[in-house]
Amino acid sequence: MVNLANPILLVVIPLFFTFLIALSGSFLKSGVKYLPVIAFALNIIVSLALIPEVVKNGMVIATTAGFKPPFAIDMAVDKLGLFLSLIASLLGFVASVYNLFYIDEEPQEKFHALFTLLVAGLTWMIITGDIFNLFVAFEVTSIAAFGLVGFHRDKGAIEAGFKYLVMGSIGGSFLLIGIIMLYAATGTLNIVDIAQKTSNLTFQQKLFPFAMIFTGLGIEGALFPLNAWLPDAHPAAPSSVSSILSGIMTTAAIYAIIRLTNTIFDFNQIYFFLMIFALLTLIFGEVSAFFQKDIKRMLAYSTIGQTGLFFFAFSLNTVNGLQGAFMQMVNHSLSKGMLFLVVGGMIMQVGSRNIDDFAGLGRKMKVSSFFLAIGAFSLMGLPPFFGFWSKLKIIFAALQNANAFLVASVVIILLMSVVEGAYFFKLLQVMYFGKQEKDVAVKEASYGMLFSVVVLGTVLLIISFYPAPVINFMHKAAAEIINKNYITLALKLGGL
């Protein structure tokens, strides 16, 4: 019996399947599309098997190649990493089920290989305990994403893919520079090892690599003004890919920033600066979303806004703030992931991405519209959905020890929530009460696509109505990060 509770499996399984798909594509033909489903089903099982271990020990560490860290590459899963990898596996799974019915364009085997690679890279980014591995995962993710964004091969997709390619590569370079500088300063690549050695660096010595890493990850993590590729890339990509990009990729990149800032760079002076980034991201994301006519573009801008929101909560640098950030991450991953999947099905039926063409869909695609409404409500933070609890937490946390600046930020956040409400309600009323002028035969999305949507929607509803476990879990995860338990735990468990 293999020990399933091994974080390495989370990366190895999808990587193995990636190559399997690429190799067997020529003779399995359409059969390859089932392989990602198997891969992510296995990943979910592994993630679930990890839960008891992580709850018991606080962290699970796996090393490779028979060496001990810091010389070996290691994977370290703590509470937050586990939760995010579980969500990544879940989204990967439902999106790959969705792909069975959604992707009919050739070359299919290449799409599925890249798709599996994308989610593999993201999971890798989340659970890695080694900073160079973070870069590798980042590049793997980016390469897969470049290809997938341009998958449709029309003019818009290629342009978007190219923009993303350029900006993503620049981001990767900055990340690499930052990592190299850290390596030069400390002589090690293991996160825990670096964390122990950075304490005798000066502020400036830490700030330079931080600025580089922040810029690199900020490009992927959709922070303003580094996020300009996103509004083009997310709409151009196939919807299942947008779902992953919006749902996990930004979250994973922000997660990496949170992890590195709190573990390696132990400074307090930077948070005010980050908060300004967060607020700008929030404002520009939400306001731009309001003006969009293209539904996927609107959702993409909304992703920017949401990122701003949870990045703001993180930049509060308190346990409560971080807890709010994590809750909002979960909320955003599930809701936005679901929204993109729903919208993909609708676009397939309507044949257009223009919001006005969605008129009357509420009556024709009842299930899809229902889940779209739930996702939108949760993103807006309306009760009783999960977004309400996370927004409550973030605002409560922001007003803790509030100064004038924080109060102003809260006002901005809530104003932007009003803007968010404005565009989501506009979408909902077009869908439910608009009149369809064009005479198109629209029917409900296929059962397989609905399955994915319903699974995500159900998970969202469960944590909405029964939020206590998630809230408590996130509180512990946040406390661990703020209290630097990551380092102590890793030391105890042989992460070093």
Partner 1 sequence: MNILLEIMLATPFIGGLLAFIGGKVHRWVRFAVAVTFSFLTLIEAFVYYNVTIKGVVWGSLFGSKLILQTNPISWLFLFIVTAMSFLIVIFSIGDMEEDRIKLDSYYMQLLFVEGAMIGIVLAGDLITFFMFWEIMSWTSYFLIIYGGKKSVAAGYKYIIMSIIGAYSMFIAIAMLYVKAHSLVYADVATTLAHSSATFVVWTVVLLGIGFFVKAAIMPLHTWLPDAHSEAPSPVSPLLSGVLIKMGAYGLFIVLYGFLSVQLAGNIMPSVFSTPILLYIIQWLAALSIVLATFLAIMQEDAKRLLAYSSISQIGYVVLGIATGTSLGVAGGLFHALNHAIFKGLLFLAVGAVIYRTGTRNLSDLGGLVKKMPYTFTALLLGIIALAGVPPLNGFVSKWMIYEALLQKKEVFLLIMAFIGSTGAFLYVYRLIHSIFLGQLPKKYENVKDVPILMQVPIWVLAVSTIIFGIFPGLAMNVIVKGMKLFGFKPIAYTLFGFPQGTAMGALKVINISAVLAIAFVAAWVLFLILSKSRKVSQYDNYAAGQVVTPELKYNYSFGFYMSFGRVIKSILKLGIERIYNYWVDAAKIFGDYYMRRVYTGNLETYNSYIVIVVTIAAAAILLGGKLW
Q: Would you tell me which residues interact with partner 1 (CB under 8 A)? A: 162-163, 166-167, 170-171, 174, 203-204, 207-208, 211-212, 214-215, 218-219, 225-226, 228-229, 231-232, 269-270, 272-273, 284, 287-288, 290-291, 363, 377, 382-384, 388-389, 392-393, 395-396, 398-400, 402, 410-411, 414-415, 417-418, 421-422, 425-426, 429, 432-433, 435, 467-468, 471
Nearest to 312 by CA among 281, 258, 275: 275
**Residue with Cβ nearer partner 1 (136 or 382):** 382
**Residue with Cβ nearer partner 1 (71 or 272):** 272
Helix, strand, coil percent values for the chain (each to nearest 5):
80, 5, 20
The letter for the amino acid at 136 is: V
Query: Minimum distance from CB of 11 to partner 1 (Å)?
Result: 29
User: ∠ CA(363), CA(364), CA(368), 5° rounding?
Assistant: 90
CA distances from 60 to 3, 78, 261, 383, 491 (A): 13, 7, 21, 35, 12
Query: Minimum distance from CB of 176 to partner 1 (Å)?
Result: 14
Q: Got the DSSP string for 442-467?
A: --PPPHHHHHHHHHHHHHHHHHHHS-
In 10 A of CB 387, how many CB atoms?
28
Query: Minimum distance from CB of 175 to partner 1 (Å)?
Result: 12
Write out the H or E segment, with its range, that includes residue 331.
Answer: helix 319-350
Return d(Cα 24, Cα 160) in angstroms, integer.
30
Return d(Cα 248, Cα 43) in angstroms, integer.
15
Asked whether 284 and 223 are in contact (CB, 8 A), the reply is no
Query: Minimum distance from CB of 152 to partner 1 (Å)?
Result: 18
Asked whether 313 and 389 are in contact (CB, 8 A), the reply is no
The two three-digit tokens of residue 385, written as one number: 């959905």
Residue 160 Cα to chain centre, angstroms: 19
Query: Minimum distance from CB of 419 to partner 1 (Å)?
Result: 9
Residue 422: burial class (beta carbons within 10 Å; 0-12, 13-18, 19+): middle
**Residue with Cβ nearer partner 1 (111 or 146):** 146
Query: Minimum distance from CB of 483 to partner 1 (Å)?
Result: 19
**Residue with Cβ nearer partner 1 (20 or 170):** 170
Query: Minimum distance from CB of 296 to partner 1 (Å)?
Result: 15
**Residue with Cβ nearer partner 1 (290 or 312):** 290
- Token match 């930052």: residue? 178
**Residue with Cβ nearer partner 1 (41 or 410):** 410
**Residue with Cβ nearer partner 1 (226 or 257):** 226
Return d(Cα 137, Cα 252) in angstroms, integer.
11
Query: Minimum distance from CB of 109 to partner 1 (Å)?
Result: 31
**Residue with Cβ nearer partner 1 (10 or 212):** 212
